[in-house]
């Protein structure tokens, strides 16, 4: 797991052809907008969160974010324990995000 600044996260994501963006916020937080192409899995779902993570491709590089960077850091640690090799936490989360945001489909 690696904590990346907003700039590092965005530039590394832009260059990464094996990237998956993962939003671990609650449904009500996601209603305010989501980073384009992100997969949403609420970390507060407990075992269901872990089950959904297990369905993901562990060979991909995951760019994980939440509201402030706290829960996404926890999610990255969980992912590491589950065998994911590359999980990158967005420091400051959506509170500091200046990139694109879209409405969740």
Q: What is the pLDDT of residues 17-45, one digit of tens each?
A: 999 999 999 999 999 999 999 999 999 99
d(CA 60, CA 36): 17
> Is 73 in contact with 3 (CB distance < 8 Å)?
yes
Q: Is the pTM above the cut of 0.75?
A: yes
d(CA 89, CA 97): 13
Which are the catalytic amino acids? Answer: 66
Q: For the chain, give every domain's residue range.
A: 2-96
| pLDDT at residue 40, rounded to an integer | 97
Q: What is the pLDDT of residues 49-88, one digit of tens each?
A: 999 999 999 999 999 999 999 999 999 999 999 999 999 9
What number does CATH give the domain 2-96?
A: 3.40.250.10
């Amino acid at each position: 797991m690696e904590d990346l600044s907003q700039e590092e996260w965005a530039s590394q994501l832009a260059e990464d052809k094996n990237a998956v963006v993962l939003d671990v916020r609650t449904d009500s937080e996601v209603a305010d907008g989501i980073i384009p192409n992100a997969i949403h899995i609420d970390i507060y779902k407990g075992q269901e969160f872990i089950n959904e993570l297990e369905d993901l491709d562990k060979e991909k590089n995951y760019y994980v974010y939440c509201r402030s960077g706290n829960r996404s850091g926890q999610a990255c640690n969980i992912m590491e324990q589950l065998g994911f090799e590359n999980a990158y936490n967005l420091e400051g989360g959506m509170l500091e995000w200046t990139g694109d945001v879209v409405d969740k489909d």
